[in-house]
């Protein structure tokens, strides 16, 4: 068998246990199964038959007992007959199953290649439909946001803008612009919040911002106020080393 040819010289710490026997036994127990006592001649004796069963999938060098067993040849004769029949069946099954599997994989690959353009077209249509729906309500939303943002505190502006580092849709970009305009009056108050921060606070905020930007996000005007105006001038190299 192929595995016998490949692994015949690879041992696993014991001079009488070839690595090929371990591999063959693992797959054999799961896909072929060992014979039972009923399949082997009673004349060979239980000890001989048990040895044959235990070493059924081993390479030939591992099937021989450490010392000769009475009636070993009797059991081995029947075992060889069974093994000859099974090996032909397994060989045919391997060829057939491999052909079926290759056919299925080829069919699946063809299906995927056909589905990909359809899926991309569907995704593009969904994005276009979403854009059309947003365009219809855009002006109303901008008015709602302006009224809502007018009541925001400096901390609320900081939180809302920080959540918009990923501006991947027209709606998120418009809301970011509305926050930049509506929260402009709180810029100094936002800087005042940062002045109360410790080095750890600035570092934690910077690390989180870097994670989002590394994943395709963009810096916000709040990030610039916090870092350029307060955190970096205050903590300098110590902060730079923490947020690298």
pLDDT at 3 over 90: no
Residues 98, 159: one domain? Answer: no
Closest CA to 207 of 166, 239, 229, 170: 239
Summarised one tens digit per residue, pLDDT across range 126-153 is 878 888 888 889 999 999 999 999 999 9
Mean pLDDT, the chain, as a whole number? 80
**Does residue 131 form part of some domain?**
no
Summarised one tens digit per residue, pLDDT across range 46-90 is 777 787 777 777 767 666 676 667 766 666 666 766 766 666 566
- Spatial CB neighbours of 202, under 8 Å, sequence gap ≥ 6: 194, 226, 227, 230, 231, 234, 235, 239
Are 7 and 19 within 8 A, CB to CB?
yes
Residues 7, 80: one domain? Answer: yes
The answer, as to whether pTM is greater than 0.75, is: no
Domain end marker among 113, 134, 169: 113
DSSP alpha helix (H) spans, the chain: 2-7, 19-31, 46-54, 60-63, 72-149, 154-162, 170-182, 187-195, 199-214, 221-226, 232-243
Residues 17, 97: one domain? Answer: yes
Domain count, the chain: 2
Domain end marker among 113, 138, 170: 113
* Domain coverage including residue 73: 2-113
Residues 108, 6: one domain? Answer: yes
**Does residue 136 form part of some domain?**
no
């Amino acid at each position: 068998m192929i595995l016998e040819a490949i692994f015949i010289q690879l041992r696993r710490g014991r001079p009488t246990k070839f690595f090929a026997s371990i591999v063959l036994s693992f797959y054999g127990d799961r896909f072929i199964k060992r014979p039972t006592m009923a399949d082997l001649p009673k004349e060979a004796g239980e000890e001989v038959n048990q040895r044959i069963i235990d070493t059924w999938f081993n390479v030939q060098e591992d099937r021989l007992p450490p010392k000769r067993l009475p009636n070993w040849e009797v059991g081995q004769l029947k075992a060889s007959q069974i093994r000859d029949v099974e090996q032909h069946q397994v060989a045919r099954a391997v060829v057939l199953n491999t052909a079926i599997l290759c056919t299925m994989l080829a069919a699946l690959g063809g299906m995927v290649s056909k589905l990909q353009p359809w899926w991309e077209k569907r995704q593009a249509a969904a994005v276009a439909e979403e854009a059309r729906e947003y365009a219809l309500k855009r002006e109303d939303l901008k008015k709602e946001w302006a009224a809502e943002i007018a009541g925001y505190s400096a901390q609320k502006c900081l939180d809302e803008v920080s959540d918009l580092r990923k501006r991947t849709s027209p709606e998120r970009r418009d809301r970011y612009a509305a926050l930049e305009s509506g929260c402009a009056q709180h810029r100094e108050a936002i800087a005042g919040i940062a002045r109360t921060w410790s080095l750890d606070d600035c570092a934690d905020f910077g690390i989180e911002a870097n994670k989002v930007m590394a994943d395709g996000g963009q810096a916000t005007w709040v990030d610039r106020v916090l870092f350029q105006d307060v955190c970096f001038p205050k903590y300098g190299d110590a902060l730079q080393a923490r947020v690298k």
